[in-house]
Chain A
Amino acid sequence: MNNPFESTGRVKASLNEQKYIASDEIATIVFLAQKLGKPLLTEGPAGVGKTELSKAIAGATGRELIRLQCYEGLDESKALYEWEYSKQLLYTQLLRDKLNDTLGKSESLAEAADKLAKEEDVFFSSRFLLQRPLLKAILCDQPTVLLIDEIDRADAEFEAFLLEVLSDFQVSVPELGTLTAKHRPFVVLTSNNTRELSEALKRRCLYLFIDYPSLQEELAVVRLKVPDLSPKLAQQAVEFVQKLRNTEMRKSPSISETLDWANALVALNAKSLDKQTLEDTLSVLVKHESDLQKARRQFIAPPPARGKPDEFGRFSGN
């Protein structure tokens, strides 16, 4: 099988083909993770392309991306597997005649039970096993990329369970026995750092911290993803975003927000970043009311003279 990840240079190039601009750092670490067969733990502020990275890796290697989105209360039955009871019930209903045929000839109850026991496997076969992302990644015939998104949102309990799976890629289903992975999936975990992950989990992973990009990098991303935006405007827009990030904000704009904004500028057919355009589109970039006002004050205009109260009877402007 041809492997696009045979050197860091190739990693970078093939991620680039997937429209993901990888820095040397990202390329090197992805390369290492793949070579060492270790899960890759990516951390960083929201919206810097952590999830996007795993999509790009999947695209570049031509593997299927299996995504497990974590949330509070996520448990094994939603992450690993579940028996599909309704299907089992349905099958028993439909197969009743057949069962009668099989069991009807038996003379004693014990004999019937024995016969039924022989057929037990029919009802607990992988046919009725509802595969959740983790099991899917393990059983897949092709190598896959397994994305475990926002692991910090899951409970500590789930993290411990995940450790088991990640260390040897096998799970035991009591009715079926132990299922071992045919191919080790490439595992990417992302975390927004809302809580500390356990030491044990960190120990098993390679660590990649993705921060906000530099001006050049961000400009490259914008040019690549929003080719319709004129180079000059793109430059101005990215400079503006970088300036916003330097001011103290409750939520700094991320790359994804920059891209949304760039798309908005294209849609509005903006020619330059004048006051009106900024005023109209700023809310795409800045999502908190207080941040919005701050940005307005700092970058667009001083608050207008207090005059008309707005529709809520408050004075607008600050």
Chain B
Amino acid sequence: MESRILQLIAALRASGVRVSLAESAEAFSAVDLMGIQHRDHFRLSLRTTLIKDSRDLPVFDKLFPLFFGNGQPPMMGGNPTDDMTPEEAQQLADALREFAQSLRQRMERLMNGEQLSRQELETLAQMVGLNKAEDLRHQEWMTQRMMRALAFPEVREALRELMEQLQQMGMSKERVEQIRDQIQQNMQGIEDQLRQFAGERIAENMSEQPPSESMDNLMNRPFHALADDEKKILQREVKRIAAALRTRIALRQKRAKSGHLDPKSTIRTNLKYHGVPMEIKYRDRTRKPRIVVICDVSTSMRFCSELMLSFLFALQGQISKTHAFAFIDHLEYISGDFSGSDADAAVSSVLVRMPSGHYNTDLGWSLNDFNNEYLNTLNGQTTLIVVGDGRNNYNDPRTDIFSLMARRASRTIWLNPEPPLMWHGDSDMPKYAPLCNNVLKVGNLKELASAVDELLSS
């Protein structure tokens, strides 16, 4: 039982739920306390100790039955031959003889309502490659494959023929119906058994997966060298880093009270000291930055921009106002897409609207768009951030507009995945860079996180 619980925890971790060591220890003491006789109590004691986020509840509800069964074996319809008259049994045997050997065997087993043995399940798993499956989304597909390996479609076809034949041989209609119902129930039973087995096996595989590459490694990997599933892991990591940053930034913003005395509140607080000003109150200086961010979402920059946007929207509480723009060949205002809380979904909806083509990135034109419509979003309190590689496909860089924007904003920061050494060819970075207060290289998540930290720190 204990190893089973550990497997469940490992599978939870593999599905992206964060379970700490303390929490798993907690789960064991909860199980000790509640016992395992009552299935529901057992489930709840695991759930309340392991899952701390309502978004992770569905993952648990999916995995739990795979490790601890859903309480009962799949329903089998029973054996239709049990209550047959000898005459009817003879008819059935005659009808069955009409089919090919292999089909006949399968049909007979279905008639008997036997479940598949462990041995047979293992063989099937081998056949369809279930032992390599590590994703629960493949459960249904694997089930279908195993059913096909069991020749279910042919059996279904044969069953219909069998029923017709029985009817021709003179068996009563109700009787035939009854047999068919039972056989169908048996088939359903086997299907359920297969589905359960596939789920269990995949979940076990997931829990045996070696822990994925250490996060540090992944954080230091350049964006362009990331595989798709690694990107997903990083997206999750962004949330965590953002939470940590949020705490630090909140503290910093809190401490940054200085300068202006607030006479009203000082007098009010010091009433209790007979008006002797023992506690001085300062006016809360709003340190929350306003941000205008312009992101290159062309193929080369897409992931970096995506992570940057995720960061900004995870940190919304610490920022007073954000205007986000995305561009490839023209500029679009995308803050509206972020009205919900889910940054991932918002980013992908933006990307659907702005499919990237080949070599059509044009920052100059996009800046022109900005100049025409959105210049008023920049004022003395705004930090302007550009996320892009500055590669303009030899289009006009429009540095005139960019310098105007930089002058209007209080600070201009450029995040570029390329180091200065690589700023040649169609890169316009050498022209843009002198106009920025700061150009930061963000080639991987670690650099991006520290860039965001710096951005909100001063």
Cβ A25 vs Cβ B51 within 8 A: no
Bound CA–CA A207/B57 (angstroms)? 11
- Stretch in B38-46, B153-161, B347-355 touching the partner: B38-46
Cβ B250 vs Cβ A207 within 8 A: no
Q: Using known A-B contacts A32-B45, A36-B30, A156-B251, determine if residue A85 contacts B273 with beta carbons closer than 8 Å.
A: yes
Cβ A207 vs Cβ B33 within 8 A: no
- Stretch in A61-69, A137-145, A194-202, A220-228 touching the partner: A194-202
Q: Using known A-B contacts A157-B251, A199-B243, A208-B48, determine if residue A36 contacts B29 with beta carbons closer than 8 Å.
A: yes
Question: For residue A205, which residues in chain B have a CB less than 8 angstroms away from its CB?
Answer: 52
B137 on the interface (CB 8 Å rule)? no
Bound CA–CA A202/B17 (angstroms)? 13
Q: Using known A-B contacts A155-B254, A207-B48, A207-B52, determine if residue A28 contacts B40 with beta carbons closer than 8 Å.
A: yes
Bound CA–CA A257/B30 (angstroms)? 35
A43 on the interface (CB 8 Å rule)? yes
B289 to chain A, nearest CB (A): 18
Q: Which residue in chain B gives the minimum CB-CB distance to A209?
A: B54
A35, A85, A156: the one within 8 Å of B33 (CB): A35
Cβ A24 vs Cβ B20 within 8 A: no
A27 to chain B, nearest CB (A): 9
B34 on the interface (CB 8 Å rule)? yes
Cβ A198 vs Cβ B243 within 8 A: yes
Where chain B touches its partner, the secondary structure class is helix
A155, A157, A209: the one within 8 Å of B57 (CB): A209
- Tell me the chain A residues, 32-47 only, with Cβ under 8 Å from chain B: 32-33, 35-36, 38, 41, 43-44
B450 on the interface (CB 8 Å rule)? no
Cβ B52 vs Cβ A203 within 8 A: yes
Bound CA–CA A144/B4 (angstroms)? 38
Bound CA–CA A198/B30 (angstroms)? 23
Cβ B247 vs Cβ A160 within 8 A: yes
Cβ A32 vs Cβ B54 within 8 A: no
Q: Using known A-B contacts A28-B45, A160-B247, A195-B317, determine if residue A36 contacts B26 with beta carbons closer than 8 Å.
A: yes
Cβ A36 vs Cβ B33 within 8 A: yes
- Tell me the chain B residues, 26-81 only, with Cβ under 8 Å from chain A: 26, 29-30, 33-34, 40-41, 44-45, 47-49, 51-54, 57
Question: For residue B33, which residues in chain A have a CB less than 8 angstroms away from its CB?
Answer: 32, 35-36
Bound CA–CA A156/B317 (angstroms)? 11
B22, B44, B254, B317: the one within 8 Å of A28 (CB): B44
B18 on the interface (CB 8 Å rule)? yes
Question: Residue among B23, B26, B44, B51 with the most chain A CB within 10 A?
Answer: B44
Cβ B20 vs Cβ A203 within 8 A: yes
Write the B1-28 contact mask toward A (1 if CB under 8 angstroms, else 0): 0000000000000000010101100100
Cβ B250 vs Cβ A157 within 8 A: yes
Where chain A touches its partner, the secondary structure class is helix
B287 on the interface (CB 8 Å rule)? no
Question: Residue among A157, A193, A199, A207 with the most chain B CB within 10 A?
Answer: A207
Cβ B44 vs Cβ A29 within 8 A: yes
B272 on the interface (CB 8 Å rule)? yes
Cβ B49 vs Cβ A89 within 8 A: no
Question: For residue A199, which residues in chain B have a CB less than 8 angstroms away from its CB?
Answer: 18, 20, 240, 243
A8 on the interface (CB 8 Å rule)? yes
Question: For residue A28, which residues in chain B have a CB less than 8 angstroms away from its CB?
Answer: 34, 40-41, 44-45, 48
A86 on the interface (CB 8 Å rule)? yes
B274 on the interface (CB 8 Å rule)? yes
A48 on the interface (CB 8 Å rule)? no
Q: Using known A-B contacts A32-B34, A208-B48, A209-B54, determine if residue A156 contacts B250 with beta carbons closer than 8 Å.
A: yes
Question: For residue B52, which residues in chain A have a CB less than 8 angstroms away from its CB?
Answer: 41, 202-203, 205, 207
Question: For residue B246, which residues in chain A have a CB less than 8 angstroms away from its CB?
Answer: 156
Q: Which residue in chain A gives the minimum CB-CB distance to B44?
A: A28
25 A–B contacts, CB within 8 A, in A order? A8-B41, A28-B45, A28-B48, A29-B44, A29-B48, A32-B33, A33-B48, A35-B33, A36-B26, A36-B29, A85-B272, A85-B273, A155-B254, A156-B247, A157-B247, A157-B254, A193-B54, A195-B317, A198-B247, A199-B240, A202-B53, A203-B22, A206-B48, A207-B47, A209-B57
Q: List the 4 shortest-distance A-B pairs measured between CB atoms, nearest first.
A: A202-B52, A156-B247, A28-B44, A207-B52
B residues whose Cβ falls under 8 Å from a Cβ of A? 18, 20, 22-23, 26, 29-30, 33-34, 40-41, 44-45, 47-49, 51-54, 57, 239-240, 243, 246-247, 250-251, 254, 272-274, 317
Apart from A28-B40, A195-B317, A208-B48, list 13 A-B contacts with CB within 8 A: A8-B41, A29-B48, A32-B49, A33-B48, A38-B26, A85-B273, A155-B254, A156-B246, A196-B239, A198-B247, A206-B49, A207-B53, A209-B57
